[in-house]
């Protein structure tokens, strides 16, 4: 949905359950079955041992597992390390130091590796996190089944320059996974060559289930470009007009006689944004939250401005647009999109994320960053999102969509111009066309893009037209800062050096220093925040909200990795304000006297 300040205060709306750790107990280990299959095919484990370590951990032979997954395994005596190399990753393991190097990025493991009788043995965590396989033990037979990562679409024939760029991208993105706990999918294409098409981290943290390229993620407001395309198709078939008043279709929508379809598409209708009422929806049965019910709940809300005279991002417009598609086409929005876009383009993994209590999106959604908390509230949000944000998809499917849209396979050239906000007859009050935003910068040229946020998912779909580049990022972390990742990728594509991220470390700050930051601060017209010290830790608490512990990155900068926020004070001696960073946005909080 609309990118806005989250500040972890959506806790009022959410019901969270904590993430548990997937593990095997000793009794399960004692009954382990040496039968191992990869993608349903049994692998020969005759000459290998699966054993239980002294602390009760099940240990698996690295060579057997790695070769079963299709990698080549070697030993380098000078490094005292084993290598595991496949067509995507180069991994080095030193069993003595427990340091693993993946695509040039080092990580110290917090689970055991053992060297026994000239063989390296690893845990299921290593198999999942480092080797990237899905790991499962049959509850009845105790047999082990592994699933290889899904096939990627990366171009095989690259020039030396393209390969160097790809290597830099691989190193940076690997560091995101290993040192910032990134989970999701990233696809990067330039000049119609796919450089990166990879999945990272877990789609299900509770059960250590790896994200694959076919794993579906909720895409939030990226949905809007599909809803807009459906409206354009109907307009091009002369089934509606952009100048039609909303009242032509729905008499119950307030101010419908004053608002046009064009204004809904461009967020210039002035309609109240209904997703601001999510706390009120939380107490209702999902099945009650129909279009008619939602419209009735906002019926008495005043306009933000006279239609066509202002701009304000409003999910209400796209809620109504989705219903217009249904009324005009005689089909549900889901079926219309399937028949006219998804099926023709081969977007096999795109569809509706939730249908009432049925969760159709594969990945679980989470809040937080390094530490995550399972989200159970997206079923509400995505059920009421409709044409504003109810879809799930994959990076591969969105790449198919981007190419087809740009090549004129979805809408006409005139329709595409409207989506990109370039039509001379369009009176735009903000850089927003039909379902897409646009931007221009000296460094990257023209960018056509849209992001999406739900409580447990974040998405970014960007086309840099001057650079003939696509960057698609999906994650199962709510309100994640994908903007920074996007521009770091874009910078690497320009030939700039973006260093891989190192392990996240915190410093020690005295309680005397921390006490200098205490006080009450205000983000004007938005939020009052108290900063105080408790048990030697700096704490942040929004009005009416739980207190959040902050960790020091420097004397003036602090963060909560669980909630994906950071604050930076203007001075370490006499602070008057701090800047709050979250989801690629920043807000200034002034100290109140």
| DSSP string covering 116-127 | ETTEEEE-HHHH
pLDDT score at 576: 96
Tell me the residue length of the chain.
Answer: 593
The whole-number pLDDT of residue 12 equals 31
Instruction: Report d(CA 206, CA 16) in Å as an integer.
Output: 14
167 contacts 173 by C-beta, under 8 angstroms: no
Sign of the CA dihedral running 418, 422, 424, 425: positive
Structural domains in the chain, sorted by start = 22-147 (3.30.457.10), 218-422 (3.40.710.10), 511-591 (2.40.128.50)
For residue 592, give every residue at least 6 positions away whose Cβ sits within 8 Å of its Cβ, in sequence order, or none: 519, 520, 521, 522, 528
CA distances from 95 to 52, 75, 114 (A): 17, 11, 6
CB atoms within 10 A of CB 303: 17
571 by DSSP, 3-state: which? coil
Residues β-bridged to residue 267: none
CB atoms within 10 A of CB 62: 27
Backbone angles phi, psi at 319, to 5 degrees: -60, -50
Beta strands in 420-526 (DSSP E): 437-441, 445-453, 458-464, 469-475, 519-523
Dmax (CA) for the chain in angstroms is 81
Picking from 136, 444, 432, the residue whose alpha carbon sits closest to that of residue 311 is 432
Q: Give ∠ CA 367-183-274 in degrees, rounded to 5.
A: 40
Q: Are 444 and 424 in contact (CB under 8 A)?
A: no
From 317, 469, 335, select the one nearest 385 (Cα to Cα): 317
- pLDDT number for residue 32: 60
Tokens of 326: 């249904």
Question: Going edge to edge, which strands form the sheet with 72-76?
Answer: 72-76, 81-85, 90-94, 99-102, 105-108
Q: What pTM does this model have?
A: 0.88
Which sign, positive or negative, has the C-alpha torsion 442, 444, 448, 449? Answer: negative
Helices (H), 429-524: 482-493, 511-515
Cα separation values, 110 from 30, 89, 113, 125, Å: 23, 21, 9, 10
Closest residue by Cα to residue 272 from 300, 308, 309: 300
pLDDT tens for the chain, residues 1 to 593: 333 344 444 333 322 233 333 444 444 444 466 789 999 999 998 889 899 998 889 999 999 999 999 999 999 999 999 999 998 999 999 999 989 999 999 999 989 999 998 999 999 999 999 999 999 888 787 788 999 988 899 998 999 999 999 999 999 999 999 999 999 999 999 999 999 999 999 999 998 899 999 999 999 999 999 999 999 999 999 999 999 999 999 999 999 999 999 999 999 999 999 988 877 777 788 888 899 999 998 999 999 999 999 999 999 999 999 999 999 999 999 999 999 999 999 999 999 999 988 999 999 999 888 888 888 778 888 989 999 999 999 999 999 999 999 999 999 999 999 999 987 777 777 899 999 999 999 999 999 999 999 889 999 999 999 999 999 999 999 888 899 999 999 999 999 999 999 988 899 999 999 999 999 999 988 889 999 999 999 999 988 778 889 999 999 999 987 677 889 999 999 999 999 987 656 889 999 97
* Non-local CB neighbours of 574 within 8 Å, separated by 6+ positions: 516
Q: Which two tokens stand for residue 327?
A: 């009324």
Q: Is 297 left (phi over 0), alpha (psi -120 to 50) or beta?
A: alpha
In sequence order, which residues have a C-beta less than 8 Å from that of residue 475 and are 6 or more positions away? Answer: 182, 183, 184, 185, 217, 457, 458, 459, 482
Q: How open is the CA angle 580-525-369, to the nearest 5 degrees?
A: 30
- Count the neighbouring beta carbons within 10 Å of the beta carbon of residue 48: 17
CA angle 74, 75, 79 (to 5 degrees): 135
* Residue where the block lists tokens 């994908």: 482
| Two tokens, residue 502 | 């190192």
Tokens of 354: 């939730």
Cα separation, 447 vs 430, in Å, equals 15
Which of 433, 587, 406, 583 minimizes the C-alpha distance to 1?
A: 583
CA distance 277 to 109: 44
Instruction: State the alpha helices, DSSP H only, in 181-269.
Output: 223-236, 261-265
For strands 184-190 and 527-534, give the pairing: unpaired
Kind of pairing, strands 72-76 and 58-61? unpaired
């Amino acid at each position: 949905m609309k990118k806005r300040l989250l500040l972890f205060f959506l806790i009022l709306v959410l019901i969270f359950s904590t993430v548990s750790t997937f593990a095997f107990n000793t009794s399960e280990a004692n009954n382990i079955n040496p039968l191992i299959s990869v993608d349903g095919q049994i692998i020969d484990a005759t000459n290998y041992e699966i054993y239980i370590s002294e602390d009760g951990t099940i240990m698996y032979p690295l060579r057997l597992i790695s070769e079963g997954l299709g990698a080549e395994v070697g030993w380098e005596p000078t490094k005292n390390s084993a290598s595991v190399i496949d067509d995507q990753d180069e991994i080095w393991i030193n069993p003595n130091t427990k340091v693993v190097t993946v695509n040039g990025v080092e990580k110290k493991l917090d689970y055991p590796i053992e060297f026994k009788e000239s063989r390296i043995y690893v845990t299921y965590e290593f198999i999942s996190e480092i080797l990237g396989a899905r790991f499962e033990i049959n509850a009845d037979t105790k047999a082990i089944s592994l699933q290889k990562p899904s096939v990627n679409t990366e171009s095989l024939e690259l020039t030396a320059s393209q390969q160097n760029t790809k290597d830099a991208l691989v190193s940076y993105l690997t560091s995101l996974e290993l040192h910032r706990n990134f989970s999701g999918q990233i696809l990067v294409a330039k000049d119609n060559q796919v450089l990166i098409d990879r999945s990272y981290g877990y789609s299900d943290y509770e059960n250590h289930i790896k994200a694959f390229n076919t794993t579906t993620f909720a895409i939030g407001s990226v949905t809007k470009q599909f809803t807009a395309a459906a409206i354009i198709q109907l307009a091009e078939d002369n089934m509606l007009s952009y100048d039609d008043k909303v009242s032509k279709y729905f008499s119950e929508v307030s101010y419908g006689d004053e608002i046009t379809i064009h204004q809904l598409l461009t967020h210039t209708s002035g309609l109240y944004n209904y997703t601001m009422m999510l706390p009120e929806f939380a107490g209702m049965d999902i099945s009650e939250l129909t279009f008619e019910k939602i419209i009735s709940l906002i019926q008495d809300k005043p306009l933000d401005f006279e239609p066509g005279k202002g701009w304000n991002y409003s999910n209400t417009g796209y809620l109504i647009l989705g219903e217009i598609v249904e009324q005009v086409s005689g089909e549900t929005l889901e079926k219309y999109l399937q028949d006219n876009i998804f099926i023709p383009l081969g977007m096999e993994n795109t569809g509706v994320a939730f249908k009432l209590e049925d969760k159709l999106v594969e990945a679980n959604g989470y809040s937080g960053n390094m530490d995550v908390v399972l989200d159970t509230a997206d079923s509400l949000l995505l059920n009421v999102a409709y044409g504003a944000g109810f879809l799930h998809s994959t990076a591969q499917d969105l790449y198919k969509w981007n190419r087809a849209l740009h090549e004129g396979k979805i809408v006409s050239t005139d329709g595409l111009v409207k989506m990109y906000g370039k039509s001379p007859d369009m009176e735009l009050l903000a850089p927003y066309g039909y379902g897409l935003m646009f931007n221009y910068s000296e460094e990257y040229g023209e960018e056509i893009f849209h992001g999406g946020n739900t409580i447990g998912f974040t998405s970014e779909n960007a086309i840099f037209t001057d650079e003939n580049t696509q960057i698609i990022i999906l994650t199962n972390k709510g309100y994640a800062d994908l903007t920074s990742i996007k521009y770091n990728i874009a910078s690497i594509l320009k030939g700039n050096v973006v260093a891989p991220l190192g392990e996240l470390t915190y410093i020690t700050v005295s309680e005397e220093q921390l006490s200098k930051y205490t006080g009450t601060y205000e983000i004007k017209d938005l939020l009052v925040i108290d900063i105080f010290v408790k048990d030697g830790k700096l704490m942040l608490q929004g009005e009416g909200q739980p207190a959040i512990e902050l960790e020091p990155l420097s004397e003036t900068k602090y963060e909560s990795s669980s909630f994906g926020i950071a604050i930076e004070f203007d001075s370490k001696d006499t602070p008057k304000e701090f800047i709050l960073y979250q989801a690629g946005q920043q807000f200034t909080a002034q100290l109140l006297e």
